[in-house]
Amino acid sequence: MCPSTDALVRYNVTGENGKVTGEAGLEVGNAETRTQNLVGYVSRYNLVADRIANGVPRMLGDLVIDLAIEPLYLDPTTIGLSGDWRNDMHFRLAQHATGQALESRAVDYSDLTALQVGMATRSTRSDGIGDAGAVDRGYHYPTGGQEPAGDCDGDGAVTISELIQAVNVALGNAPLSACSAADVDGDGRVGIADLIRAVNAVLGS
């Protein structure tokens, strides 16, 4: 791999990345090449739950956390394998605003607002309310906990082209993977009821 000069590492959350390889969460080059690899390297507001390699500087906002005590996610030990991943609660951030006793330091942990980075219409909260103020670290789910019916690209809105894609899935002209959000009831296909909800979503977008 070629080196990336003047690299910026920003808003990452790492955890147990070195569990198998022994490497660190933030690893730049190796002991022999690190000095030259760090030329132009800048990191900002990363949450590192494993470690930062020796010689790699912690820079503005970088925070080393301990997963054993840090309430970063509601329950990262369990992954829901059934149902709609958009409703999964395990990787939402723990925060006081939604009733959790503890709050993750990933909440509002940044130097830009959710609006500035385009995340105000998405959510890290268990109640699905959109991110506000300083943007949270971590995956941002669709607001409300579920994407609108027919929202193929997950941007929170349904367009005419996405509705056409949903119709093609219903007709068998495209696989369900082309627009899984059109399968509202989760029965593995797109039916009339699903398409009606997608049409309503288009009208409401």
- Residue pLDDT, tens place only, 182-203: 887 667 789 988 898 888 877 7
CA atoms of 60 and 8, how far apart (whole Å): 12
Q: What percent of the chain has pLDDT over 90?
A: 20
For the chain, count helices (H), then strands (E): 3, 7
* CA-based nearest residue to 16, from 87, 72, 95: 72
Which SS3 state, helix, strand or coil, does residue 34 take?
helix
Between 146 and 63, the more confident residue is 63
Q: Are 50 and 13 within 8 A, CB to CB?
A: no
Rounded average pLDDT over 151-171:
87
pLDDT above 80 (res 86): no
CA atoms of 106 and 71, how far apart (whole Å): 9
Least confident interval from 17-26, 110-119, 157-166, 176-185 = 17-26
- Confidence band of 164 (pLDDT split at 50, 70, 90): very high
Which residue has tokens 């495209």?
A: 174
CA atoms of 41 and 84, how far apart (whole Å): 39
- Confidence band of 50 (pLDDT split at 50, 70, 90): confident
Angle subtended by helix axes 160-171 and 192-204, to nearest 10: 180
β-partners of residue 13 are 47
Q: Are 184 and 139 within 8 A, CB to CB?
A: no
109-133: pLDDT as tens digits: 999 999 998 888 888 988 888 899 9
Give the number of other Cβ atoms within 10 Å of residue 20's Cβ.
7
Rounded average pLDDT over 145-158:
73
Q: Are 63 and 37 within 8 A, CB to CB?
A: no
